[in-house]
Amino acid sequence: MLTYDAIIIGFGKAGKKMAGELATKDWKVAMIEEDPKMYGGTCINIACIPTKTLVHDGLKGVPYGEAIERKNSVVEKLRASNYKNIADNNQISLYESVAKFRSDKEVEIEVEGKTEVLTAEHIFINTGATSNIPPMKGDLSLDKVYTSTSLIERKELPGQLAIIGAGYIGLEYASMYQNFGSEVTVITPDDELLPNEDPEIAAEVQKIMEEKGIRFLYGAKAEEIEENNDDLVTLPLSNGEKVTANVVLLATGRKPNVENLGLDNTSIELTEGGAIKVNDHLETTVDNIWALGDVRGGMQFTYISLDDYRIVANHLFGDKKYSLETRKNVPYSVFIDPPLSRVGMTAKEAEDKGFEIAEGKLMVASHPRAHVINDLRGLFKVVVDKESGKILGASLFGPESPELINLVKLAMDLDAPYTYLRDQMYNHPVMSESFNDLFAIE
């Protein structure tokens, strides 16, 4: 049995940061990652970095094949850098293996065909999430059926792409592949697009995506995949329609990656949704075992995984004041064209919580910067509390919104009144100037 101060299962954002932090404390660390193509985690290998690289190149008119090659180059460079940072650290032993718990303090791995057992007082689980495959009739292993992970490895652009699911991943891929030239159809069981977003924003998103040529089928479920003889697949839908395409993308969400961890051999408990249950300091139901990132459920963003590391590091080495409870506003962006960014509550969510609200609204086309960059699409909306003047939320659909949303988050975290952003002097001509008018709320 090999003994370490800490075992980290999963080479993701939180895992690699935790390994580096512990190494500076002279801890002896075992890092376990089953797939060398995942060194560095989901973001740099199969999610944020490769998809946003493709989004960028699609908007710039780069041919699909060239974009795939550049995406691969970017990923390989970052993966190698992440590997080197861990492998070159004398305090960290890197194992390429599946990790399986034998008990609360013992983890089994395979090294060169032999079983090894590792033990440590502190264990960190950072295994991320995996594609959630829906129950459907037909052969889902067909070479025409893809997940969000496998589709961006395809070197040939799909002529016709059918996307099952209209969540953030489905919409991002729809926009991206349409920009490359695919004919895209999105199938969703919902009766509307983005039901959790502001209705006016969602309607604007739908309008612009449809104007780009993306087709949406609402209130329909794809129940079966049928392979045709002419290099096509057919999807019979619950509403009686049929969709034919060269390629099908299953964009039906991602689930915590816990299946092969051997958690049945431990006292670690799962939530009803299949995520690892944690407290506000991300400790599981077993003392000194933590779960960080997507595997613990909730919003699946790499910056949340990074911040999870901060919570655990603060709990181990700091004043123990930082936690899920004290974490403040979490922004997010959906990199459709133009991008949609959000932080905080919508108007309805705020009213449901009892706030008396006021709203600010600005059409992007009314702002000078939009004319400078020749992109007049989109709508910005903000929600403020009439009594305190605090900003309750913002929904920004338009160019440069992924940067703008962080300014709103910063103001919200500092409890600054909305007038702070309204009355700020901005340089010109920039999109942040829009706050002068967006927050001009009576």
Instruction: Kindly list the distances between the CA atom of residue 437 and the CA atoms of 90, 262, 358, 421, in Å, as whole numbers in the listed order.
Output: 55, 55, 14, 10
Cα distance between the two ends of the chain: 68
* Residue 56 annotated as catalytic: no
434 pLDDT above the threshold of 80 = yes
228 pLDDT above the threshold of 90 = no
Return the domain boundaries, the chain. 2-129+255-317, 145-252, 332-438
442 pLDDT above the threshold of 80 = no
Locate tokens 């919104």: which residue? 401
pLDDT of residue 196: 96
- Evaluate whether 2-129+255-317 and 332-438 have a shared fold: no
User: What mean pLDDT do residues 249-260 have?
Assistant: 96
330 pLDDT above the threshold of 80 = yes
CB crowding 316-341: b at 16 or more within 10 Å, else e: beeeeebeeeeeebebbbbbbbbbbb
The encoded tokens of residue 293 equal 């990132």
User: What mean pLDDT do residues 6-15 have?
Assistant: 98
- Round the average pLDDT of the chain to a whole number and report it: 97
CA distance 11 to 307: 16
**Domain 332-438 of CATH type 3.30.390.30:** yes
223 pLDDT above the threshold of 90 = no
Residues 79, 85, 90, 93: is their CA dihedral positive or negative? negative
In this prediction, what percent of the chain has a pLDDT beyond 90?
Answer: 97
CB crowding 258-279: b at 16 or more within 10 Å, else e: beebbbeebebeeeeeebbbbe
- CATH architecture of the domain with range 2-129+255-317: 3-Layer(bba) Sandwich (3.50)
The CATH class of 145-252 is: alpha beta
pLDDT of residue 141: 84
Q: Structure pTM?
A: 0.96
In this prediction, what percent of the chain has a pLDDT beyond 70?
Answer: 100
> What would the pLDDT profile of 16-64 be if each residue is shown by its tens digit?
999 999 999 999 999 999 999 999 999 999 999 999 999 999 999 999 9
227 pLDDT above the threshold of 90 = no
Locate tokens 């493709």: which residue? 54
Confidence of residue 139 (pLDDT cuts 50, 70, 90): confident
Confidence of residue 229 (pLDDT cuts 50, 70, 90): confident
Determine the 3-state secondary structure of 397 from DSSP. Answer: strand
| DSSP bridge pairs for 4 | 120
> What would the pLDDT profile of 278-323 be if each residue is shown by its tens digit?
999 999 999 999 999 999 999 999 999 999 999 999 999 999 999 9
365 pLDDT above the threshold of 90 = yes
